[in-house]
A and B are shown apart, each in its own frame.
Chain A
Amino acid sequence: MATAAIAIGYGTLAGLVFAPPDYQQGDAFRIVYVHAPAAWLSLFSYTTMALAGAIALIWRIKVGFAVAAATAPIGASFTLLALVTGSLWGRPMWGTYWAWDPRLTSELILLFLYVGVMSLRPAFEDPARGDRAAALLAIVGVVNVPIIHYSVLWWNSLHQGPTVAKLGKPSMDPSMLWPLLSMFLGFMLFYGAVLCIRLRGEVLNRERQAHWVREAV
């Protein structure tokens, strides 16, 4: 968590103070320092949730359901952050807060999928059935992840194309790129730390009747 705070602190300071304004977008481009890491995390978290759900369903490894349950609220919050910051970036750049653009629409669907997964689990009286249903929805919904990622290439989109994750050289100047990479690292470390805290809670909730919990607590 301390490393995450340092990376986010450096990224924020360097992104807001030391990085030069963009020659086209001016200082509004600085929104990228929270928008891009949040959007990346929204996809990473969903993929983690779907993979954990698949592992739990296929190999019957119970901790997979716990990981999927723990990652869902974190991913949902970062999806909301990506949508809100994207909207605030869109207003000065595109002249509107929202457009039914492929990238924006598929990201909004991702938020609905997160909400669906989180709502489905407690909707069943039997928690095991709820876990299985939520995992199944997460796996079905993972088809949306490549759609979000490639939407700017597959369709005509208001959203700009890939800037950092390009094969070859990123099209950003290093003075802008390093703070962004630091923010990516900080957000990922923060996600890992929060996931561990939530996972401890999930495991305790699910296994409190188990013998090993009695011995461990």
Chain B
Amino acid sequence: MNGGFWSMGGYARFVWPCFGFALAILIWNLWSARRFLAASQVRTARVLMMAAGRRS
């Protein structure tokens, strides 16, 4: 990896932010989807526990 690679032929300030932003979008998608699922599971468990409490 020499300086030529990192400078991207003079286009480094356009190329690297694109790949950085793409990585951020991929990470955000995965993180937010998992967070959404975890929150749904917690809410569902809470509803089921309340329902079980009412029955007993």
Interface on A for B, CB 8 Å cutoff? Answer: 8, 12, 16-17, 21, 26-28, 30-31, 34-35, 38, 73-74, 77-78, 80-81, 84-85, 88-89, 91-92, 190, 194, 197-198, 200-202, 204-205, 208-209, 213-214, 217
Contacts and interface: CB of A to CB of B under 8 A. Distances in A.
A35 B18 contact: yes
Interface string B1-32: 00001001111001101110110011011101
A74 B26 CA distance: 9
Contact of A197 (B18, B26, B34): B34
20 contacts: A26-B9, A27-B9, A28-B15, A30-B8, A31-B14, A38-B22, A38-B25, A77-B29, A81-B21, A81-B22, A88-B14, A88-B18, A92-B14, A190-B29, A194-B30, A198-B33, A201-B33, A205-B44, A208-B43, A217-B44
Size class of the contact patch on chain B: 20 to 34
Given A17-B5, A26-B11, A92-B11, A201 B18 contact: no
A190 B11 CA distance: 28
Contact of B22 (A73, A85, A208): A85
A51 B43 CA distance: 29
Contacts of A200: 37, 40
A89 B43 contact: no
Interface of B is mostly: helix
A5 to B, nearest CB: 9
Contact of A204 (B5, B10, B40): B40
Interface string B38-56: 0111011101100100000
Contacts of B28: 77
Nearest to B41: A204
A202 B43 CA distance: 12
B8 A27 contact: yes
Nearest to A32: B18
Contacts of B29: 73-74, 77, 190, 194
